Amino acid sequence: MKKLILSILSLALFATMAQAQQQIYVCEGFDYDVYEVASTDDIRFSADGLEVSIGNHRTYELEDIDSITFAEPLFPRIDILFNGTSATVSMTANVKGVTYSINGAVVTLTSTTLSEEYLYSVSGTSDNGSLIINGDYKLTVELAGLTLTNPNGPAIDVECGKRIGVILKEGTVNTLADGKNGTHKGAFYTEGHPEFEGGGTLNVTGNTKHAICAKEYLQFKKSTGVVNILGAVSDGIHCGKGKQNDDNSHFQINGGIITVNNAGSDCIDADDYGCMIIKGGVLNLNVSATDGTGLKCDSIIYMTDGDVNITVNSPLSEGIRTNHTAYFDGGHIRMDVKADGCKGIRAKRCSKTTDTVLNGGFLHFRGTTVDMNISGKTYAADGTDCVGIRADRDFTQTDGTITLTVASTDATPLVVKGTDNRTGGTLVVK
């Protein structure tokens, strides 16, 4: 939909204002803002060309705007309403090539479009229902006040390997849960790459495996509201495609407040060569599984902004782990390393032929602030040490402040197996 040529529209706008149109519509995805023409005196671009201001109303990031029109947009829309043991589906007239079936409260939709993105708006309540969407073109799912439990499988299953927009509608609370002992991968599963946005709230419980699972990358945009993982048998959030050097295998957070509790394995796992990109937002992670991890990735971690708050509560677990390299360039990490045999931040060097990524173990601190409390001890069963920060190869610090407060005489604040390259910043051990 990104076909807008704003420079041309800004020149044409005032000529059009003199005509009969009374309102302009600024469209972002399937949402829009409306302004009275009389109150919009100009459109201004930022010096770098990345933002545009509509009069004195609002400044938008250019990449987020799909169009500016003088006619009210008519988006192709499919509404799914759950009502206990039943459900209904309705579509606007401009939806083409979508069929559906309803069996009780199990709704299955199949789209054949290869050129038009549709909005699937889902609401209502059912404790014995599910939503399955099949197709080969990108789509958007709006959660607009949905409470859905599927005792036999995933609550939402999007079988489309493209970009899947997920809107948490402002002011709504949405709750998803799946059934136990199934063969599915998550309570909310997408075959493609979901991009979350919108100011609502999403609560998810994974009773078979993961809570939220994406086969490719997963992103939380700046506008994301609140996402709570209430529990999961395996990972709270899991993503990864299984292809080396593939941009589609990463976890990214630009905004939102993401909280993970009661995960049976890792809180967030970017698997199968996966990278982890932290540009903003808040992550609140409680590592409660033995040998679990708060943030885990098979490849590279990039952190430039945001707040990461991790409590490491279970033996042999880790707060942050990369199986190759981590670059901490900004933002703030706060961590409590409480359990025996734990690691706060670790870069692991993998050397087994069965490992996905080999010969890692590098940590680079270039601006991130780290405040870590370490109170765990040596794990009695196998002698594993409790360590604040561990680099299996090289440790580099050029900027930022790292404060390691050690409350246990049986814990080690910093372990570097390779070269310790500290040329800037501050590292304090209390």
How confident is the model over 207-257, as pLDDT tens digits?
999 999 999 899 999 999 999 999 999 999 999 865 554 556 789 999 999
Task: For the domain covering 115-429, report its CATH number.
Answer: 2.160.20
Q: How large is the average pLDDT for residues 262-291?
A: 94
Which residue carries 């808040």 as its tokens? 282
What is the pTM (predicted TM-score) of this model? Answer: 0.89
pLDDT of residue 368: 98
Mean pLDDT, the chain, rounded, equals 90
C-beta of residue 156 within 8 angstroms of C-beta of residue 183? no
C-beta of residue 186 within 8 angstroms of C-beta of residue 158? no
State which amino acid sits at residue 12. Answer: A
Distance of CA 217 to the CA centre of its chain: 9
Percent of the chain predicted with pLDDT > 90: 74
Task: State the CB neighbour count (10 A cutoff) for residue 22.
Answer: 10
Q: Which of 384, 366, 249 is nearest to 305 (CA)?
A: 366
Instruction: Look at residue 45 and tell me whether its pLDDT is greater than 90.
Output: no
Domain boundaries, the chain: 6-69, 115-429
Rounded to a whole number of angstroms, the distance between the first and last alpha carbons of the chain is: 54
pLDDT of residue 2: 41
For residue 324 the two structure tokens come to 């190759």
Task: Name, in order, each residue with C-beta under 8 angstroms of 186's C-beta and a sequence gap of 6 or more.
Answer: 154, 178, 206, 209, 210, 211, 212, 213, 238
C-beta of residue 261 within 8 angstroms of C-beta of residue 286? yes
Three-class DSSP labels, the chain = CCCCCHHHHHHHHHHHHCCCCCEEEEEECCEEEEEEHHHCCCEEECCCCCEEEECCCEEEEHHHCCEEECCCCCCCEEEEEEECCEEEEEECCCCCCEEEEEECEEEEEEECCCCCCCEEEEEEEECCEEEEEECCCCEEEEEEEEEEECCCCCCEEEECCCEEEEEECCCCEEEEECCCCCCCCEEEEECCEEEEECCCEEEEEECCCEEEEECCCEEECCCCCEEEEEEECCCCEEECCCCCCCCCCEEEECCCEEEECCECCCCEEECCCCEEEECCCEEEEEECCCCCEEEEECCEEEECCCEEEEEECCCCCEEEEECCEEEECCCEEEEEECCCCCEEEEECCCCCCCCCCCCCCEEEEECCEEEEEECCCCECCCCECEEEEEECCCEEEEECEEEEEECCCCEEEEEECCCEEECCCEEEEC
pLDDT of residue 3: 43
Q: How large is the average pLDDT for residues 377-392?
A: 94
| Segment 321-374, tens digit of pLDDT | 999 999 999 999 999 999 999 999 999 987 766 666 767 899 999 999 999 999
Q: Which of 191, 186, 187 is nearest to 174 (CA)?
A: 187
Percent of the chain predicted with pLDDT > 70: 91
Q: How far is CA 216 from CA 24, 275, 298, in A?
A: 37, 11, 14
Q: Rounded to 5 degrees, what are φ and ψ at 132?
A: -120, 130
Three-class DSSP labels, 224-243 = CCEEEEEEECCCCEEECCCC
Residues facing residue 124 across a β-bridge: 82, 146
pLDDT of residue 152: 93
